Amino acid sequence: MEFELRSRSVEKKMTRRSLLGHTGQGASLLTFGVTAPGVLCDAATLATEQRILVVVEMAGGNDGLNTVVPIRDEIYRKARPNLAISSDDALSINDALGLHPSMRGMADLLEDGKLSIVQGVGYENPNRSHFESMDIWHSCQRKTEQRQNGWIGRYLESAQLSHLSDPPALHLGKRQQPLALMSRDVRVPSIQSLEQFRLRAAKSPDLRDAIRALSSQSRAGASDLLGFVQASSRNAMDASERMESAGVQYKPSEAYPETTLGRELETIAKLIASGLETRVYYVRIDGFDTHANQPGAHSVLLRSVSDAVGTLVRDVNAQGDGDRLLVMCFSEFGRRVAENASDGTDHGAAGPVLLAGNGVKAGVVGEHPRLDDLQSGDLKHRIDFRQVYTAILQQWLKCDASSVLGAVYDPVAVFSRS
Partner 1 sequence: MNLMDVNPDWAWAAYEPSTNSPWNLDAVAHLFRRGGFGAPRKRLVESVENVPAEVVESLFSAEEPEAFQREMQTLIRAAIATGNVRQLAAQWVYRMLHTPAPLKEKMTLFWHGHFATSDEKVGDVRLMQTQNNLLRKYALGDFKALTLEISRDPAMLLYLDSATNRKSHPNENYAREIMELFCLGEGMYTEQDIQELARCFTGWEIKRERYRFNRYQHDSGTKTVLGVRGVESGEEAIGVVTEHPAAPRFLARKLFQFFVMDEPGPTDELLVPITRQLSDDRMNIGPTVQRILGSNLFFSPLARARKVRSPVELGVGFLRTFEGTTDFFQLAGAMYQLGQGLYQPPSVKGWDGGRTWINSSTLLGRANLIQRVLNGNKTRFGKQSLNEYFEANGVDSVEDIAEILEISLFAVPIPRPAIERVKALVTASEGSNWVNLAVHAFCTLPEFQVA
What does the binding site for partner 1 look like in residue numbers (CB under 8 A)? 128-132, 143, 167, 171, 174-177, 187-192, 196-201, 203-204, 206-207, 210-211, 213-215, 217, 219, 222-226, 228-230, 232-233, 235-236, 239-240, 286, 289, 291-292, 340-342, 344, 346-347, 376
Shortest spacing between CB 62 and partner 1, in angstroms: 16
Give yes or no for a contact between 274 and 156, defined as CB atoms under 8 angstroms apart: no
Nearer to partner 1, 197 or 250 (CB): 197
Nearer to partner 1, 51 or 284 (CB): 284
User: What CA–CA distances, in Å, run from 73 to 97, 142, 164, 367, 372?
Assistant: 9, 34, 50, 14, 10
CA atoms 55, 58, 59, 61: torsion sign: negative
Nearer to partner 1, 51 or 279 (CB): 279
Shortest spacing between CB 287 and partner 1, in angstroms: 9
Nearer to partner 1, 22 or 174 (CB): 174
Q: Identify any residues that bridge with 92 across adjacent strands, giving them in sequence order.
A: 98
Nearer to partner 1, 25 or 146 (CB): 146
Our measurement of the distance from residue 298's CA atom to the centroid of its chain's CA atoms, rounded to an integer in Å, reads 21
Shortest spacing between CB 258 and partner 1, in angstroms: 18
Shortest spacing between CB 189 and partner 1, in angstroms: 3
Nearer to partner 1, 210 or 407 (CB): 210
Shortest spacing between CB 13 and partner 1, in angstroms: 26
Shortest spacing between CB 380 and partner 1, in angstroms: 16
Nearer to partner 1, 15 or 233 (CB): 233
Shortest spacing between CB 220 and partner 1, in angstroms: 9
